[in-house]
Amino acid sequence: MTDSPDANDPRSPEGTDASREVNPDSHPPGEPTSASEAPVFVTTSTGAEEWVAPEPTTDAVASSSPTATPATVSVVSSTRRRRSRAAWSSRFSLLLVAALVGGLAGHYAAPSATSALSVNVSTQGPGAGVLPGGVSIPKLVQHALPTIVSINVRGAGGDDQGTGMIITGNGLVVTNNHVIANAVQSGTITVTRSGSTRALPATLVGTNPIDDVALIRIDNVHGLPTVTFGNSNALQVGDAVVAIGNALGLAAGTPTVTQGIVSALGRTVTAGSSTSTETLTNMIQTDAAINPGNSGGPLIDSAGDVIGMNTAVAGTLASGENTQNIGFAIPSATILSLLPQLKAGQSVANHGAFMGVEIESNNPQLAQQYGFSVTTGAVVISVIAGTGAAAAGIRQGDVIVGINSTTIQNAQDVTQVLSALTPGDVISLHVVRGTKHLVLRVTLGRQPKS
């Protein structure tokens, strides 16, 4: 690139004007006061540049006489400006280095006023989690939270934490039996409503260890919001669900929320502690995270209705393998069938009678899918080897429609009938197999311990 002419450069035509370029009263400190004291840088008429030592007479005339040749005048003017430029160039270089060092020091030390921190900040809120179909999870949770309570139980066996659902405005709360079991003989129950830190006393109303359901009442309250139960018999595998509860008992009044789907239906599970076990049938399996403390809390569908009660989670298998994302909930249909008995203050004793089948409530969708000739009853999902059911010849796909003289409409009816029986009793089981109606005699055994 070629530089444009510089008006202050003596090599350009404008730079040969001595009256603009020379100031006799000032010169750089330490420089010779006349051209005779030191060689100077000369620009000749041909454009060549060279160092010369001018004669004293010529220099004297050049510095004082207006008739001096242009070349002589250029020598004086050029010398000061070149040396002056060189000096300022050095100073500029030093300043530039100092500025770079200062900039680096500022970078590693403290920010200056001219290097303010700049970050991107959004004014939009986070996007809401949604269930399939576009249902907002935060809206479902906001609607459900006022109807959910944290439960704390103190008894001779220690402290237990769980969750409950308000079902009446005057304080009736349904929860798992194992949540309040420690207070059955002697102990205290308190509940904390969501969004509150105040523990309210509660009283035990009814218990059902067979189905792991219990009813308590919050003392001296009225006008409370209540849950709405959905139709668990209409559930299908893959339906979206949300689990809410006092997970791990971390902080009463601040429930945890998890999301998942219905993974399976009609599960039979045996759960319990080192001192007691319970075998639960027709359970909803879900991959929504359920943890200790979630017990008794709601499993809600995309409409915000309660379709199950979170009850158990699969842990370590007998082989030592850890399970992943397998939780179980009691269907809302089972809970509703037990509430009248519980509200009446009855405590159901677990007699331990066990038939040996896994069942699921029948419905029109299930009947159409598998070609059942009936749309009600309890469908046998599997038969457990070595049990009375296996010995009686019950098969997978049989639909139980009656036990003794009781008509069976769903899986909950089977559980209720068996709860009043004891091991060794013999029942007449009415089943539909294809288009055939059969009556099988089944000897009941004991519930397994593990």
Of residues 386 and 19, more confidently modeled: 386
List Cβ neighbours of 344 (8 Å cut-off, separation of 6 or more).
206
State the pLDDT at residue 54.
52
Across the range 14-36, mean pLDDT stands at 43
Model confidence at 448, in pLDDT bands (50, 70, 90)? low
Per-residue pLDDT at 219 exceeds 50: yes
| pLDDT, tens digit (0-9, with 9 covering 90-100), for 79-122 | 233 444 444 444 444 444 444 444 444 444 455 556 788 888 87
| pLDDT, tens digit (0-9, with 9 covering 90-100), for 34-45 | 444 455 544 444
Name the token pair of 146: 């006022």
Q: Are 193 and 149 in contact (CB under 8 A)?
A: yes
Model confidence at 261, in pLDDT bands (50, 70, 90)? very high
Of residues 4 and 237, more confidently modeled: 237
Q: Are 72 and 58 in contact (CB under 8 A)?
A: yes
Buried b (16+ CB within 10 A) or exposed e, 177-215: bbbbbbbeeebebbbbbbeeeebbebebbbbbbbbbbbb
212 catalytic per annotation: yes
Across the range 160-177, mean pLDDT stands at 94
Catalytic residue among 74, 178, 194, 287: 178
295 catalytic per annotation: yes
Per-residue pLDDT at 274 exceeds 80: no
Q: What are phi and psi of 410, to 5 degrees?
A: -155, 180
When the pLDDT of each residue in the chain is averaged and rounded to a whole number, the result is 76
Element (H, E) at 82: helix 70-108
Domain 133-218 sits in CATH at 2.40.10.10
Catalytic residue among 74, 77, 194, 295: 295
Buried b (16+ CB within 10 A) or exposed e, 333-359: bbbbbbbebbbeeeebebbbbbbbbbb
What pTM, to 2 d.p., does this model score? 0.64
State the pLDDT at residue 210.
81
* Mutual angle of helices 70-108 and 56-64, in 10-degree steps: 80
Two domains, one topology: 133-218 and 351-450: no
Q: Nearest-CA neighbor of 245 among 294, 289, 283, 282?
A: 294
Among 2.60.40.10, 2.30.42.10, 1.10.1740.10, 1.10.3720.10, what is the CATH number of 351-450?
Answer: 2.30.42.10
Model confidence at 62, in pLDDT bands (50, 70, 90)? very low
Name the token pair of 280: 């639960």
State the pLDDT at residue 260.
92
| pLDDT, tens digit (0-9, with 9 covering 90-100), for 184-206 | 887 899 999 988 888 999 999 99
222 catalytic per annotation: no
Catalytic residue among 212, 301, 398, 413: 212
State the pLDDT at residue 399.
96
| pLDDT, tens digit (0-9, with 9 covering 90-100), for 367-423 | 888 899 999 999 998 898 999 999 999 999 999 999 999 999 988 888 878 878 889
Q: Which long-range contacts (CB under 8 A, 24 or more apart) does 255-258 make?
A: 255/145, 255/148, 255/150, 255/163, 255/194, 255/297, 256/291, 256/294, 257/137, 257/141, 258/288, 258/289, 258/290
Three-state secondary-structure class, residue 63: helix
**In the chain, where the domains are located:** 13-103, 133-218, 351-450
Across the range 8-25, mean pLDDT stands at 41
* Mutual angle of helices 411-419 and 332-343, in 10-degree steps: 40
Classify residue 31 as left (phi > 0), alpha (psi -120 to 50) or beta.
Answer: beta
Per-residue pLDDT at 278 exceeds 80: no
Highest mean pLDDT among 55-64, 201-210, 321-330, 351-360: 201-210
